[in-house]
């Protein structure tokens, strides 16, 4: 069992938990994720790692209630425990494998939308701890839905907060803030965008126009987390990839967002899943060759 040692409600339907999982905390890196399961009957839920403390042996997860399983998770309190807490899974951020001296020369910007702030935070924190400067644009629909603002302010070189309705910070979306900074003469060599699919699509549209290489995290489309269910299948540069085993981070300028969003919506229904199995054949799942009808 994996006990919850801290639980906090960050905003409406958004929760943070510190979970005791020493082996995961020992080996995880920014960009990776875990799969949690409340009990024997519970659904397996993939969640990107928000933070970790190797000494305390804890992993921080942030989740938003969107269905029955995450609603059940929200009912858990400090002292309760997850039956399963599997990880670290997926590939770590490419940034942490780069030469530090070369990394310090780059002008990096992160764009975080909504709950996407959670997986952005550990990357920015890692860069800060290794002496690498980076700017962060983080936003939400309203002030009440902003999360981790104080934490991000401590590790970002410059933090720009935006709200769609103008209730806090810059009035507009992350793309509007990036364009405004660009118009002021601010230049970036690298962008990391994490948030809702539609937000990442439009960030990539803008950064492609501006000539900024961009990485996106496709964790919003993961379901099973092991490449077996086929939910996170996407096209990247014309090749079939699976977010959970090949990512979750990819070159955003190569991701076919329109297909991914259409497929994500279709996958939610049984008839839609059957149609995808028919159309995609052997590439529907993660390539194990053993997957049968669901």
Count of H helices and E strands in the chain?
10, 16
User: Regarding the domain with residue range 2-89, which homologous superfamily does it belong to in the CATH classification?
Assistant: Translation factors (2.40.30.10)
Q: pLDDT: is 126 or 222 the higher one?
A: 126
Place of tokens 């000494």: 55
How is residue 133 written in tokens?
A: 């400067």
> 7: part of which helix (H) or strand (E)?
strand 2-11
Instruction: Pick the range with the lowest mean pLDDT from 42-56, 117-131, 194-208, 227-241.
Output: 227-241
pLDDT tens per residue across span 125-152 = 999 999 999 999 999 999 989 999 999 9
Question: What backbone torsions phi and psi does residue 99 show, to the nearest 5 degrees?
Answer: -65, 130
pLDDT(156) > 70: yes
- The yes-or-no verdict on residue 289 having pLDDT over 90 is no
List all residues 6 or more positions away from 126 whose beta carbon is below 8 Å from its beta carbon: 29, 30, 93, 95, 96
In the chain, which ranges are continuous DSSP H helix? 22-27, 68-75, 100-105, 117-129, 149-155, 174-183, 197-210, 243-246, 257-267, 270-280
- Numbered ranges of CATH 2.40.30.10 in the chain: 2-89
Mean pLDDT calculated for residue range 55-80: 89
Question: What confidence score (pLDDT) does residue 264 get?
Answer: 64
Residue ranges of the chain that CATH labels 3.40.50.80: 96-214
pLDDT at 70: 84
Most confident option among 71-80, 120-129, 247-256: 120-129
Residue 21 pLDDT > 50, yes or no? yes
Closest CA to 222 of 90, 111, 95: 90
Architecture of domain 96-214: 3-Layer(aba) Sandwich (3.40)
DSSP bridge partners of 80: 78
Interval 178-198: pLDDT, tens: 999 999 999 999 999 999 888
pLDDT (average), residues 240-246: 76
CB atoms within 10 A of CB 101: 9
More confident residue, 288 or 231: 231
Separation between Cα atoms, residue 289 and residue 16, nearest integer Å: 37
Using a pLDDT cut of 70, give the percent of the chain over it: 85
Rounded to the nearest 5 degrees, what angle is found at the Cα of 161, between the Cα atoms of 213 and 62? 85
């Amino acid at each position: 069992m994996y006990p919850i040692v801290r639980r906090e409600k960050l905003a409406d339907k958004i929760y943070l938990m510190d979970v005791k999982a020493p082996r995961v905390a020992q080996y995880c890196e920014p960009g990776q994720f875990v799969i949690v399961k409340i009990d024997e009957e519970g659904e397996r839920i993939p969640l990107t790692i928000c933070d970790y403390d190797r000494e305390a042996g804890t992993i921080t997860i942030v989740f938003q209630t969107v269905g029955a399983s995450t609603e059940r998770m929200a009912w858990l309190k400090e002292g309760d425990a997850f039956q399963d807490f599997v990880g670290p899974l997926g590939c770590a951020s490419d940034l942490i494998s780069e030469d530090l001296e070369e990394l310090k020369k780059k002008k990096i910007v992160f764009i975080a939308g909504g709950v996407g702030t959670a997986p952005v935070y550990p990357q920015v924190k890692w860069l800060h701890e290794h002496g690498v400067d980076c700017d962060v644009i983080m936003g939400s629909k309203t002030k009440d839905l902003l999360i981790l603002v104080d934490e991000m302010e401590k590790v970002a070189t410059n933090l720009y907060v935006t709200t769609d309705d103008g209730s806090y910070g810059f009035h507009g979306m992350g793309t509007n803030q990036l364009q405004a900074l660009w118009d002021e003469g601010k230049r970036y060599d690298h962008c990391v965008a994490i948030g809702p699919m539609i937000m990442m699509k439009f960030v990539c549209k803008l950064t492609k126009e501006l000539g900024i290489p961009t990485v996106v995290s496709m964790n919003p489309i993961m379901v099973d987390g092991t490449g077996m269910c086929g939910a996170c299948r996407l096209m990247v540069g014309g090749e079939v990839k699976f977010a959970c085993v090949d990512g979750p981070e990819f070159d955003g300028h190569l991701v076919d967002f329109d297909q991914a969003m259409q497929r994500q919506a279709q996958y939610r229904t049984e008839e839609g899943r059957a149609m995808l199995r028919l159309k995609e054949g052997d590439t529907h799942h993660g390539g194990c060759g053993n997957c049968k009808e669901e």
